[in-house]
Amino acid sequence: MTLRAAVLGWPIGHSRSPLIHGHWIKEHGLDASYEPIAVDPEGASAWFRAFKTHGLVGANVTIPHKELALEACDTAEDHARRLGAVNTIWLEGDRLCGTSTDGAGFMANLDQTAPNWRDHKAAETALVLGAGGAARAILDALLTAGVGHILIANRTEAKAQGLADWFAPAYPSAKITAVSLAETDNVAGQAGLVVNTTALGMEGQPPLTLDVGRLAPDTTVTDIVYTPLETPLLAAAKAAGHPVVDGLGMLLHQAVPGFERWFGVRPTVTEAVRRVALRDLGVLT
């Protein structure tokens, strides 16, 4: 019997997940499928609660259903509860289980692409730009990985402070400091790792204005934006000699745990699957 998985959202047309999972299904010769399914927000709660009736072994969940999918789960991993959202769900018997793989995807990409980032003398401190859902997942992953000091800079400073307050009780030995975007250049030199989680630098958006000249030498610079693949931030950091990590890798790595749960094979993020995504992005022909 074909094992069916899906990506669930509204709308769902833009998702690149079918391409990634489709590549791995073919690579491993599995009797499996992965399809986009648009789940109307009206009735979505009931749809998720009836998940076991839809003939799927599991799914990825995307906007706007990540929070209500968590509510429908019988079991969710601790960090997903902390984040208040899931992006990956699966059935264990009749029980719906969920997790969030964004943070693990971010860390796996960082470790694969810039394996020496932890060796930087300032790796104890990370500067995270943005305070939305992606920032939340990445903060949790960095704190879990033992980064002791996180500076969060956001246009709406109250949201950065809100994230700092939210995580403080879960990580009492870490220091989490909210700063305004205007202060970013002044604090950037403290960080061994910089992560842009804002939409700035994305096609159609203004670039992020961070003076990379203020960074300590060898600070790793990462961006979760992947359209364009080389954002103005990454281009400037690369030109200044910093190790850079683009956002496409996070997209690929966050897909790994779901595939393994649903189909029983752990896929690898290879150059081949990266090329499939790059072709779709129009970066390769």
Question: Is 121 noted as a catalytic residue in this protein?
Answer: no
CA separation for the pair 68, 118 (Å, rounded): 36
Exposed/middle/buried for residue 206 (C-beta within 10 Å: 0-12, 13-18, 19+): exposed
Min CB(223)–ligand ATR separation in Å? 12
Q: Nearest residue by C-beta to ligand ATR?
A: 132
Min CB(198)–ligand ATR separation in Å? 3
Nearer to ligand ATR, 8 or 200 (CB): 200
Q: How many CB atoms lie within 10 A of CB 169?
A: 7
Alpha-helical regions (H) of the chain: 17-27, 44-49, 66-72, 78-83, 102-113, 133-144, 157-167, 184-187, 232-239, 248-253, 256-263, 271-281
Min CB(132)–ligand ATR separation in Å? 2
φ/ψ (deg, to 5) at 116: -95, 10
Q: How many CB atoms lie within 10 A of CB 121?
A: 10
Min CB(1)–ligand ATR separation in Å? 36
Q: Encoding tokens for residue 62?
A: 């995307």
Q: Is 200 among the residues that bind ligand ATR (CB under 6 A)?
A: yes
User: What distance separates the 2 farthest-apart alpha carbons in the chain?
Assistant: 59
Q: Is 105 among the residues that bind ligand ATR (CB under 6 A)?
A: no
Contacting ligand ATR within 124-183 (CB under 6 A): 130-135, 154-156, 159
Q: Encoding tokens for residue 53?
A: 């009736």
Nearer to ligand ATR, 147 or 200 (CB): 200
Q: Is 199 among the residues that bind ligand ATR (CB under 6 A)?
A: yes
Q: Is 118 among the residues that bind ligand ATR (CB under 6 A)?
A: no
CA separation for the pair 176, 169 (Å, rounded): 11
Q: Is 103 among the residues that bind ligand ATR (CB under 6 A)?
A: no
Q: Is 197 among the residues that bind ligand ATR (CB under 6 A)?
A: yes
Q: Which residues lie below 8 Å from residue 233, measured CB to CB, with a gap of 6+?
A: 196, 201, 207, 208, 210, 212, 221, 223
Contacting ligand ATR within 237-266 (CB under 6 A): none
From the list 170-178, 195-203, 225-233, 258-266, the region that binds ligand ATR by CB under 6 A is 195-203
Catalytic-role residue among 66, 159, 175, 238 = 66
List 184, 190, 198, 231, residue binding ligand ATR (CB under 6 A)? 198
| Residue ranges binding ligand ATR (CB under 6 A) | 130-135, 154-156, 159, 197-200
Catalytic residues: 66
